[in-house]
Amino acid sequence: MVEIVGTGVCGTDRKILLGRFPARPGTVLGHESVGVVRETGPQVRSVGVGDRVVVNPTLYCGWCSPCLRGATNFCRHKAGTEVGVDRDGTYAEAVTLPERFVERVPAGLPFRSAVLIEPLACVLNNVEAASVTFGDTVVVLGAGPIGMLTALVAGRQARRVTLAEPDGYRLERAREHFAHVVDVAGADPVEAVAKAWGEERPSVVFDTTGTGLDAALRLVDDGGRVVVMGFDDAYSVPLRPLRLTNRGIRLIGAGDYRADTFPVAVNLAAELGAPQRPGSGTGTLLDRLVTHEFPLERYSEAFTALGGLTLGDGDSGDSGTERPPRYDALKVVIRSHSGPFGDDGWPVGV
């Protein structure tokens, strides 16, 4: 049993509440969670009472055929096991899980940064699926937390990474961390990127918005890859197969992550998020991605900061040309714990 300290609000949570992502009605949301082990069963070995931990919310059985070939994110027995989607999540005081879905947070990685481990696992899986190499030039559509993490991870390989974003707040935040950021407000992203890039076109495009597939397909260079990451059940694109075959475009959907990706995300977060890392300057990207924190009872303010819970123009989805919702935040965290708090502003000694 993990006493939850905090949970990052995911774009998926908002899409669930708007009816744009399938979930079981009545389920407690919340899946990007960190906390402290409060109780263990007699056979638990890898964690102990008092350990700081992160939850891997993508439960799997381990013995069905997708699981046996390592594709645990497509487990056949997934129904009712996705924490915060169809099994009660962590906008709550505590959660009880099997041992293998609870991992220790490395010493030195603050809770505040550790809430980004789960999104980082998604990003690792998708960047890996795109086989990004040194020769690649990458455009990431959307500079929310997932977009920025994608730019960060892809940028460890690719020759050039550009973020494309229409929201003023997110543009400003993205420019604090990335050299190439393109404002696509009121413009066709394809034209806006072309203006910044000249002749060259991206060999890989990640769409983290859920409504950018059409733009991504027009933007990507011949022979390139398009990775679909954002979720919006209401968005669709008519796709003529010839559009892929003639130009040699690979369209990639990689989903969340396999079981073996999660510990990699834990270790990479430790690398990226340790406050004393040389060159980390005024704070690591992980730390600065968390812009707002609210106690559990003020959850509605958390969603207000992320575009609110009424359908905005950008959520109607079908044409992809509407104005996107306005954001006043990057990663918003809902805190389940009331303290006492340490230097990093997060509970200690719980």
Which CB sits closer to Zn ion, 8 or 202? 8
Q: Where does residue 148 rank: exposed (0-12), middle (13-18), buried (19+ CB within 10 A)?
A: buried
- Find the shortest distance in angstroms from Cβ 307 to Zn ion: 15
**What is the edge-to-edge ordering of all strands in the sheet holding 160-165?**
181-183, 160-165, 137-141, 204-207, 225-228, 250-253
- Find the shortest distance in angstroms from Cβ 229 to Zn ion: 11
- Find the shortest distance in angstroms from Cβ 227 to Zn ion: 16
Which CB sits closer to Zn ion, 61 or 234? 61
CA distance 269 to 324: 30
Which CB sits closer to Zn ion, 123 or 285? 123
Which CB sits closer to Zn ion, 89 or 202? 89
- Find the shortest distance in angstroms from Cβ 83 to Zn ion: 10
Residue in the structure block whose two tokens are 């990004």:
132
CA distance 199 to 72: 41
| Residues 6+ positions from 160 with CB-CB distance below 8 Å | 137, 138, 180
- Contact (Cβ atoms closer than 8 angstroms) between residue 57 and residue 7: no
Footprint of Zn ion (CB under 5 A)? 10, 12, 60-61, 64, 67, 75
Tokens encoding 1: 């049993």
Which CB sits closer to Zn ion, 61 or 194? 61
Tokens encoding 303: 């969603």
> DSSP per residue over 38-55, as a string?
----TT--S--TT-EEEE
Which CB sits closer to Zn ion, 54 or 181? 54
Which CB sits closer to Zn ion, 12 or 203? 12
Which CB sits closer to Zn ion, 201 or 331? 331
- Contact (Cβ atoms closer than 8 angstroms) between residue 202 and residue 212: no
- Find the shortest distance in angstroms from Cβ 143 to Zn ion: 17
Tell me how crowded residue 188 is: count the other CB atoms within 10 A of its CB.
13
CA-based nearest residue to 11, from 324, 343, 338 = 324
- Find the shortest distance in angstroms from Cβ 220 to Zn ion: 25
Under DSSP, is residue 226 helix (H, G, I), strand (E, B) or coil?
strand
- Find the shortest distance in angstroms from Cβ 300 to Zn ion: 19
Which CB sits closer to Zn ion, 10 or 219? 10
What is the number of residues in the chain? Answer: 350
- Contact (Cβ atoms closer than 8 angstroms) between residue 121 and residue 265: yes
CA distance 73 to 255: 8
- Find the shortest distance in angstroms from Cβ 302 to Zn ion: 14
- Find the shortest distance in angstroms from Cβ 12 to Zn ion: 5
- Find the shortest distance in angstroms from Cβ 334 to Zn ion: 13
SS3 content of the chain, % helix, strand, coil (to 5): 30, 20, 50
Which CB sits closer to Zn ion, 61 or 196? 61
